[in-house]
Amino acid sequence: MVVDASGLMETRLSAAGFERVAGCDEVGRGALAGPLVAAAVILPEGTELHGLRDSKTCTKLQLQRLAEQIHEVALAVCIVRVRHDSIDRDGLNPCNLRALRRALKGLGQEPDYVLVDAFRLKRLQWPSLAVKKADAVSKNVAAASIVAKVHRDAAMRRYHKRFKQYGFATNVGYGTRHHWNALIEHGPCEIHRRSFFGVSGFPDQNGVIRPHTARHLEEEPCDAELEET
């Protein structure tokens, strides 16, 4: 049974005097292609949004409806995108932590307290806590998860128009069977994360990476709107 985010963390923080709680989360860590997207959200104290929960448990219609409601009622929302080539250059985890920090700093309002899903952010200027599966116990983290996912899914649907053979409109860059088969047949396109295992090839028995035996694809410039901001 899927249940809404309980808001337990916000209730406890409110009792301790923290009114403006920011939640932050990211989507796209495990994707083979496309950007990593992080978001931070501050909801008004006591906000009630039916269906607000982990974005992975929502349908597309539920996600869209909730994202619209979150943008309408939130005190502040910030979304940060990290390009695929930044992930290849700097590594996934450093990019992830940097994006979460930038999302929090871009809120435009000072939070009293910060809740982060799983990742501990050291030396933040606000008191903070990393909570495993925070989107189940924090409405702000659940809201951040939803707006980040809606933003990223929309970006991947736009990419699908250019790279239809990979099925980005449905797999949004994750490693489905269709996506892996397309990689084997066509090789990676411009927005694939080539540092991820298997994207550019697989190791042979001697541990040497062999590229895919795929036809060459003419690559187009990346959309400027997906640059890290």
**Cα separations in angstroms, 185 against 121, 124, 171, 200, 204:** 40, 45, 17, 12, 18
Identify whether residues 125 and 193 lie together within a single domain.
Answer: no
Q: Which of 189, 195, 220 is nearest to 86 (CA)?
A: 195
Identify whether residues 38 and 119 lie together within a single domain.
Answer: yes
Say yes or no to pLDDT of 1 above 90. Answer: no
Say yes or no to pLDDT of 227 above 90. Answer: no
Residue 13 contacts residue 141 (beta carbons within 8 Å): no
> Residue 211's pLDDT is what?
63
Residue 83 contacts residue 97 (beta carbons within 8 Å): no
Residue at 35 is within a domain: yes
Identify whether residues 144 and 187 lie together within a single domain.
Answer: no
Domain count, the chain: 2
Identify whether residues 206 and 164 lie together within a single domain.
Answer: yes
Q: Look over the chain and give the mean of its residue pLDDT values, rounded to a whole number.
A: 90
* Phi (first) and psi of residue 49, to 5 degrees: -125, 115
Residue at 207 is within a domain: yes
Tell me the three state secondary structure of residue 152: helix
Lowest pLDDT segment from 35-39, 118-122, 157-161, 216-220: 216-220
> Residue 218's pLDDT is what?
36
Residue at 3 is within a domain: no
Domain span at 200? 159-218
pLDDT tens readout for residues 167-179 = 999 999 999 999 9
pLDDT tens readout for residues 195-222 = 999 998 877 666 565 666 543 333 333 3
> Residue 209's pLDDT is what?
59
> Residue 65's pLDDT is what?
96
Lowest pLDDT segment from 41-45, 56-60, 184-188, 213-217: 213-217
Strands (E), 36-154: 36-42, 76-82, 113-117, 128-131
Report the DSSP beta bridge partners of residue 40: 24, 78
Residue at 118 is within a domain: yes
**Cα separations in angstroms, 43 against 10, 21, 38, 74:** 10, 7, 17, 5
The CATH number given to whatever domain includes residue 135 is 3.30.420.10
- State the pLDDT confidence band at 229, using cuts at 50, 70 and 90: very low
Residue 84 contacts residue 91 (beta carbons within 8 Å): no
User: Which structure tokens are listed for 95?
Assistant: 């990019």
- CA 56-15-53 angle, to 5 degrees, is 10
Identify whether residues 214 and 138 lie together within a single domain.
Answer: no
Say yes or no to pLDDT of 26 above 80. Answer: yes
Region 74-83: mean pLDDT is 98
Last residue of a domain, one of 103, 130, 152: 152
pLDDT tens readout for residues 47-74 = 999 999 989 889 999 999 999 999 999 9
Identify whether residues 169 and 91 lie together within a single domain.
Answer: no
